[in-house]
Amino acid sequence: MPAALSEYRRAHSLVAEVKGPARHKPCDFCGKFADDWAYNHADPREIYRDGYLWSENTSYYFPLCRKHHRAYDRTFRTKGREALTAFAEKMRRENQRLPEEISVMRAMCDALWRSREIGLGNIEPGV
């Protein structure tokens, strides 16, 4: 395995270690459960090696469902970094959910996160 691919995968694993699994979070664009942690291409110290682009700083990753992650990355590849903010705003606008739906989704995500943290021994039940 090329070193760059190994580093790229390690960066994504670190995001999951720090922030938890993406599937425990709502997609930033549609509110459905996310599948992946997506790199937002905003890190001034991003790393590009052998065709792989990533950040070692976990704050530059956000949760997206697979559909929106692919569309976001496709926008970056075809239109560049400058197009990402407008694309993200468009996706959020087109996929707006009712406040009640958002509350339910966030409660479900919080419950999953809490369950994971209790299982890992990071927090006590009932806290």
| pLDDT at residue number 1 | 59
Where the chain has pLDDT below 70, the residues are 1, 97-99, 127
According to DSSP, residue 26 is labeled B
Distances (CA, A) of 6 to 10, 18, 24, 118: 6, 18, 25, 30
| pLDDT at residue number 127 | 60
Q: Cite the beta strand spans of 20-103 per DSSP E.
A: 36-39, 47-49, 52-54, 61-64
| pLDDT at residue number 93 | 84
Collapse the DSSP code of 56 into the 3-class scheme (helix H, G, I; strand E, B; otherwise coil) and give the result. Answer: coil
pTM, entire model: 0.75
| pLDDT at residue number 60 | 97
